[in-house]
Chain A
Amino acid sequence: DGGITQSPKYLFRKEGQNVTLSCEQNLNHDAMYWYRQDPGQGLRLIYYSQIVNDFQKGDIAEGYSVSREKKESFPLTVTSAQKNPTAFYLCASGLFAGELFFGEGSRLTVL
Chain B
Amino acid sequence: SQQGEEDPQALSIQEGENATMNCSYKTSINNLQWYRQNSGRGLVHLILIRSNEREKHSGRLRVTLDTSKKSSSLLITASRAADTASYFCATDTGSGGYQKVTFGTGTKLQVIP
Contact = CB atoms under 8 A, between A and B. Distances in A.
A99 B34 CA distance: 9
A90 B105 CA distance: 15
Nearest to A30: B99
Nearest to A42: B105
B19 to A, nearest CB: 18
Chain A interface residue number, banded: 20 to 34
Interface in B80-107: 88, 90, 92, 97-106
Contacts of A42: 2, 4, 88, 103-106
A63 interface: no
B113 interface: no
Interface string B40-51: 111111001000
Contact of A48 (B4, B100, B103): B100
A4 to B, nearest CB: 8
A45 B98 CA distance: 14
Q: How large is the interface on B (under 10, 10 to 19, 20 to 34, 35 or more residues)?
A: 20 to 34
B48 A98 contact: yes
A100 interface: yes
B33 A100 contact: yes
Contacts of B41: 104-105
Nearest to B50: A97
A105 to B, nearest CB: 6
A43 to B, nearest CB: 4
B64 interface: no
Contacts of B100: 45, 48, 56, 58
A44 B40 contact: no
A80 interface: no
Contacts of A98: 48
B2 A44 contact: yes
Top 3 A-B residue pairs of the complex, sorted by shortest distance between their CB atoms: A102-B42, A43-B103, A99-B45
Given A43-B103, A50-B98, A100-B101, 16 more contacts: A31-B99, A42-B103, A43-B88, A44-B2, A44-B103, A50-B97, A58-B102, A88-B40, A96-B97, A96-B99, A97-B30, A99-B33, A99-B48, A100-B45, A102-B42, A103-B42
